[in-house]
Amino acid sequence: LADPDAALAEVAYVLEHGARVVHMRPAPVPAPNGTSRSLGDKAHDPVWAALAEANVPVAFHLGDSGYDARFSSAWGASSEFGFGKADPLARVMTSDRAIQDTVASMILHGVFTRHPSLRIASIENGSDWMHVLAKHLRKQANQTPWVFAEDPVETMRNHIWVTPYLEEDLRKLADFIGVERILFGSDWPHGEGVALPLDFEIELGPFTDAERRLIMHDNALALLGEG
């Protein structure tokens, strides 16, 4: 997205070759002279429009969003993102901040209002951030209602799919966004997963058999247009 025209050409290429999902980094978009743009900047609208028209979702996967270098280091934590020795302060400060800011920017800057069929999947970012973001969105909508064309929390529910971590409250998540928005993601062999990925289903005790099938199978197929 740093070069909107090149990004649109790349999207056209991958769609022509059968892409069912497009991966992007959950981060501000680099711009000239060391600046950056919101993902909600209208310069990116042609990309969102092409993906929405093709019914191809965007997957934002955990990665180096630049937050450790920008923010963690300012507090004396490690500025390096990677899989070596973890810095606990950096983890606390930035572990799910990038995806929260990514979704917030797209909602507040009107991406889903302009592209109502665009769908987003949050992969390996957990799900606890959704409750935090919803709280902030509700507060902001009460304080500046004229900014919002629609309820921002409903926007999040309608457009975001998520792969929760095993240790999170999955029933609470389902009650918030709907079981149809929850995706099973093993993340094997990374530490966020489990040794036997299908053991994830054991944590779905509070769910019915039909709901388990949605989470473990059907929701992903539906998101990819196979359902």
Q: What percent of the chain has pLDDT over 90?
A: 68
DSSP helix, strand, coil percent of the chain (3-state; round to 5): 55, 10, 40
pLDDT in tens, 171-209: 999 999 999 999 999 877 777 777 788 888 888 888 999
List C-alpha distances in Å: 201 to 165, 208, 215.
12, 11, 9
Q: What is the rounded average pLDDT of the residues 118-123?
A: 97
Q: What is the pLDDT of residue 227?
A: 63
pLDDT in tens, 9-42: 999 999 999 999 999 999 999 888 888 999 999 9
Which sequence spans correspond to the domains of the chain?
A: 4-162, 182-227
Q: What is the pLDDT of residue 81?
A: 64
Q: What is the pLDDT of residue 221?
A: 96
Place of tokens 């062999």: 189
Dihedral angle, C-alpha 147, 102, 7, 37, nearest 10 °: 60
For residues 168 and 160, what is the distance between their CA atoms, to the nearest angstrom? 17
Q: What percent of the chain has pLDDT over 70?
A: 92
CATH-assigned architecture of domain 4-162: Alpha-Beta Barrel (3.20)
For residues 142 and 146, what is the distance between their CA atoms, to the nearest angstrom? 9
Under a CB-based contact definition with an 8 Å cutoff, are residues 65 and 122 in contact? no
Q: What is the rounded average pLDDT of the residues 47-55?
A: 98
